[in-house]
Structure 1
Amino acid sequence: METEIPAMLNARHALFPEQRFTFHSARMRMMHVTPEELKKMDVDSDRCALELSDARCDVLAYACLVAIMCQGAGYHRVSEARLQKAVESNNAPTPIISSAGALIEGVKAMGFKRVAIITPYMKPLTQQVVDYIQSEDIEVTDSMSLEVSDNLAVGRLDPMNLIAHADRLDISNADAVVLSACVQMPSLPAIQAVEDRLGKPVLSAAVSTVYRILKTLGLKAQVPNAGYLLSGKF
């Protein structure tokens, strides 16, 4: 959230030099990606939204995809509505988006119904993500779990290793590939490379979040070398 999303927004400067962004963040505590810690983390999101509302931002984005998806089908709508009330209580009626909702919207914006995904999660959490995506009428044709439970280790994974991981993913029935179904797992340097290599659209939770941010701000959803969703066609 604090690396790839600003990188994408700043990369737009070459295309739209008049558009500038500032980035503000608040943190929910979570060291190990387990259902128990994810639930505690989600409860803390109200505090973070309220703190950020003091800055009167133009849009607030809840980053952690799996913290939402492990709560059950459709929970991103519940979370976004709850956080909306939190910021409104501070007289800051700011649009709220989530990476979980953004990934669903990103796939549907491209008109797709089938995806193959890579996650850093342990297999049981990956299955919850698969179930969540499929509850939104998007079929997950194949999934790969890298099984890294330490959240700091997830953030330090080499994104270029995703090229080899994607080669082992069965994409034969997929419309698109979700190279990282996790905002914490870096993937931006590999997005365009994997898309060119596979010949299919490639996106990530972070790419989808940027798409939602730009659409919410009424700006063109275009970022250089960030894959098909941010090509400016949608």
Structure 2
Amino acid sequence: METEIPAMLTSRYSLFPDEHFTFHSSRMRMMKVSPEELKKMDIDSDRCALELSDARVDVMAYACLVAIMCQGAGYHSVSQARLSKTVAGNASDAPVLSSAGALIDSLHMLDYKKVAIITPYMKPLTQQVIDYIEAAGIEVVDAISLEVSDNLQVGRLDPMDLVSHANRLNIGQADGVVLSCCVQMPSLPAIQVVQDRLDKPVLSASVATVYQMLKTLGLKAQVPNAGHLLSGAF
């Protein structure tokens, strides 16, 4: 969240030189990616949203996809409504998005019925992500779990390794590929490479979050070399 989303927003300056973004973050604690720590992390999201509302930002995004998805189908709507109420109590009208909601909403906007995904999670957590996506009416035709439980190690994975991982996906029936179903696992340098290689639309949780942020701000959803969703066509 703190690396790829600012990278995408600032890379727009070559296309839209009058734009300027500042980026603000507040952290929920979590070291091991486990259901127990993810639940504790989610409870902390109200504190983070309240802190960020002091900055009078124009849009907020809750980063952790799996912290939302492991709470059960449709929880992103519950979370976003609660956090919106929290920031409104601090006289902020900033819309609150989430990476989980952004991914689901973007896949619906694209009218994708079937996707293949890659996650850094242990297989049980990946299954919860699959269940969440499928509960939203989108079939997951194949999934790869990299099974990295240490959150710091997830952030240090080489994004270009996703090129070879993507080659192992069964994408024959997929409308698109979610190259990183996690904003902590880096993927931005590989998005366009994998899309060109597979000849399938490729996105990530971070890409979907940026798309929804830009649409919320009333800006054109275009970022160089960030795949189909941010091509400017939508």
TM-score, reference length from structure 2: 0.99
Look up the match of 1:159. 159
| Letter paired with 1:169 | L
Look up the match of 1:188. 188
Q: Please give the alpha-carbon distance, in whole angstroms, between the structure 2 residues aligned to 1:181 and 1:188.
A: 12
| Letter paired with 1:78 | V
Look up the match of 1:227. 227
Per the TM alignment, residue 107 of structure 1 is displaced from its structure 2 partner at its CA by 1.2
Look up the match of 2:197. 197
Moved over 6 A (4+): none
Look up the match of 1:206. 206
Cα deviations across residues 23-67 of structure 1 (Å, max 9, x unaligned)?
Answer: 000000000000000000000000000000000000000000000
Residue correspondences, number:
234
Q: Percent identity?
A: 74
The DSSP-based 3-state class of the residue aligned with 1:56 is coil
| Letter paired with 2:6 | P
Look up the match of 2:149. 149
Q: Please give the alpha-carbon distance, in whole angstroms, between the structure 2 residues aligned to 1:109 and 1:195.
A: 19
Look up the match of 1:125. 125
Structure 1 spans left out of the alignment, 5+ residues: none
Look up the match of 1:137. 137
Per the TM alignment, residue 112 of structure 1 is displaced from its structure 2 partner at its CA by 1.1
Look up the match of 2:174. 174
Look up the match of 2:86. 86
| Letter paired with 1:5 | I
Q: Please give the alpha-carbon distance, in whole angstroms, between the structure 1 residues aligned to 2:104 and 2:195.
A: 19
Q: Please give the alpha-carbon distance, in whole angstroms, between the structure 1 residues aligned to 2:111 and 2:39.
A: 32
| Letter paired with 1:54 | D
Q: Please give the alpha-carbon distance, in whole angstroms, between the structure 2 residues aligned to 1:183 and 1:106.
A: 15
The DSSP-based 3-state class of the residue aligned with 1:39 is helix
Look up the match of 1:108. 108
Q: Please give the alpha-carbon distance, in whole angstroms, between the structure 2 residues aligned to 1:219 and 1:146.
A: 35
Do structure 1's residue 33 and structure 2's residue 29 form an aligned pair?
no
The DSSP-based 3-state class of the residue aligned with 1:111 is coil
Cα deviations across residues 90-110 of structure 1 (Å, max 9, x unaligned)?
Answer: 011210000000001111222
Per the TM alignment, residue 111 of structure 1 is displaced from its structure 2 partner at its CA by 1.9
Cα deviations across residues 153-203 of structure 1 (Å, max 9, x unaligned)?
Answer: 000000000000000010011000000000000000000000000000000
The DSSP-based 3-state class of the residue aligned with 1:144 is strand
Structure 2 spans left out of the alignment, 5+ residues: none
Q: Please give the alpha-carbon distance, in whole angstroms, between the structure 1 residues aligned to 2:131 and 2:48.
A: 27
